[in-house]
Structure 1
Amino acid sequence: MSVQQQLDPIVQEFVDALNANDRDRFHSVLTEDATMSDDGVERDVEQWTDSEVFASNGRMQIETVTDGGIELLADYTNSRWGSMRTSWRFTVRDGKISRFETGQA
Structure 2
Amino acid sequence: MTIAVAKLSDPVVRKVVEAINAGDRAAFLDLLAPGATMSDDGSDRELADWVDREIFSSRGHMEVQTEANGGRALVANFRNETWGEMRTAWRFEIAEGKVTRFETGQA
Which bracket does the TM-score occupy, shorter chain normalised?
A: over 0.9
Alignment match, 2:46:
44
For 1:70, give the aligned amino acid.
Answer: R
Query: 1:36 and 1:21 mapped to 2: Cα distance?
Result: 19
* Pair 1:27 & 2:25 matched: no
TM-score w.r.t. length of structure 2? 0.93
Alignment match, 2:89:
87
What aligned pairs does 1:9-20 form with structure 2 within 5 A after superposition?
A: 9-20=11-22
Helix, strand or coil at the partner of 2:93 = strand
Q: CA deviation at 1:5?
A: 2.5
Quick check: 1:3–1:64 contact (8 Å CA) kept in 2? no
User: CA offsets per residue over residues 31-89 of structure 1, 9 Å max, x none?
Assistant: 01100000000001100000000110000000000011100100000000000000000
Consecutive unaligned residues of structure 1, counting only runs of 5 or more, are none
Q: CA deviation at 1:3?
A: 6.7
Q: CA deviation at 1:4?
A: 4.3
Coordinate RMSD, CA, aligned: 1.4
Quick check: 1:3–1:65 contact (8 Å CA) kept in 2? no
Alignment match, 1:65:
67
Instruction: Choose the corresponding residue for 1:5, options 4, 7, 13.
Output: 7
Distance 1:16 1:2, change over 3 A: closer
Distance 1:3 1:64, change over 3 A: farther
For 1:43, give the aligned amino acid.
Answer: R
For 1:68, give the aligned amino acid.
Answer: G
Structure 1 vs Structure 2: percent identity of aligned residues?
A: 48
